[in-house]
Amino acid sequence: MITLPKTDLTVHPLCLGGNVFGFSADVANSEVVLDYYFDNGGNFIDTADMYSQWAPGHVGGESETIIGNWMKRRGNRSKMVIATKVAKLDTRPGLKPANIAAACDESLKRLQTDYIDLYYAHQDDPDTPIEDTLTAFDSLIKAGKVRYIAASNFTAERLQQSLDIAKQMNLSSYVACQDQYNLMDRDYETTLMPTLKANGLSQIPFYGLARGFLTGKYRPGVTVESVRATGVANSYANDRGWKLLEKLDQIAKDHNTSVAAVSLAWLRAQPTVATPIASATKLEQIKELMPVIELTSDQLALLTNS
């Protein structure tokens, strides 16, 4: 277990992504994954109010509802660290104070809880003054509805502005960020990492497995049945991707573990990263994600230089 910097939140080194719950994982499979994760020491779940409004017939909130029902069944809310987000749900867009307050109450109801451990601004809202957004988040913290706040998909400049304004106005400040970062997508290292380092913030990256490519299930000539398959093929099915998988294969063999576990281990070893997010739609997938291993300096260098 690790403690997220600037918080008293103690979490498992794998944050379970809830973006698939109610989408590519039905209720039954979602609960199987959640049960295995919790029964094997997991306690950190990431979701959002807009999951999974993109699916036909969905309106958003499906993931939160599944998680809320599961926690009620297991009676384990006090043992969980729950992160959710505001700003991208079609019916609750942006970071205006009234919207943040209403969205928070709706998330609390779906999650069947009276507090959110980590509440993200899911994306920046340039049309709302930063001080208004931060004041709204600060009010939620003072009311006991939210413990900590974080930022997702911000530019370095806007993140720094937000941190500076919070300090100037003595308001609650973002303690962490959530952005895309994995062995195949490494722009973060030059765009945002310096700002997080300078301010002592932690990164909790999404797409830690490059939408499934870094699990090793995608191979030359192999057809994968997945809602993400086309996007993965277009982005990662190239010489660089295949060469990286060869290195991951060898390291996984050396550690007697999964390719996914090695990919996540590399992320954990990177500066500013607290714990990566990865999602699973069925039991065999969560079993591949759970092992927490430590790579040697040579293995880290081999992957970093890929």
Looking at 3.30.70.270, 1.10.520.10, 3.20.20.100, 3.90.1150.10, the CATH number of the domain 2-211+260-293 comes to 3.20.20.100
Amino acid at 290: M
Q: Tally the residues of the chain.
A: 306
d(CA 175, CA 193): 14
The DSSP annotation for 192-261 comes to: THHHHHHHT-EE--BSTTGGGGGGT---TT-----TTHHHHHHHH-SHHHHHHHHHHHHHHHHHTS-HHH
Domain boundaries, the chain: 2-211+260-293
- CA-angle at 28, arms to 26 and 30, nearest 5°: 65
The token pair at 202 is 């932690």
Quick one: pLDDT at residue 221?
Answer: 73
Work out the burial of residue 93: count CB atoms within 10 Å of its CB; fewer than 13 is exposed, 13-18 middle, 19 or more buried.
middle
The two tokens of residue 256 are: 């007697």
Q: Which two tokens stand for residue 153?
A: 């998909």
Inter-residue contact 95 to 125 (CB < 8 Å): yes
Strands 88-89 and 92-93: antiparallel
CA distance 53 to 63: 10
Ramachandran class of 56: left when φ > 0, alpha when ψ lies in -120 to 50, beta otherwise: beta
pLDDT at 227: 65
**62-74 vs 97-111: helix crossing angle, rounded to 10:** 40
Identify which of 285, 200, 296, 304 has the alpha carbon closest to the alpha carbon of residue 254.
Answer: 296
Q: One digit per residue, pLDDT tens: the chain, 306 residues? A: 999 999 999 999 999 999 999 999 999 999 999 999 999 999 999 999 999 999 999 999 999 999 999 999 999 999 999 999 999 999 999 999 999 999 999 999 999 999 999 999 999 999 999 999 999 999 999 999 999 999 999 999 999 999 999 999 999 999 999 999 999 999 999 999 999 999 999 999 999 999 999 999 888 877 677 766 677 777 898 999 999 999 999 999 999 999 999 999 999 999 999 999 999 999 999 999 999 999 999 999 999 998
Active site residue 181: no
Question: Residue 229 has what pLDDT?
Answer: 65
**Which residue in 36, 37, 51, 120 is the catalytic one?**
51
- pTM, two decimal places: 0.95
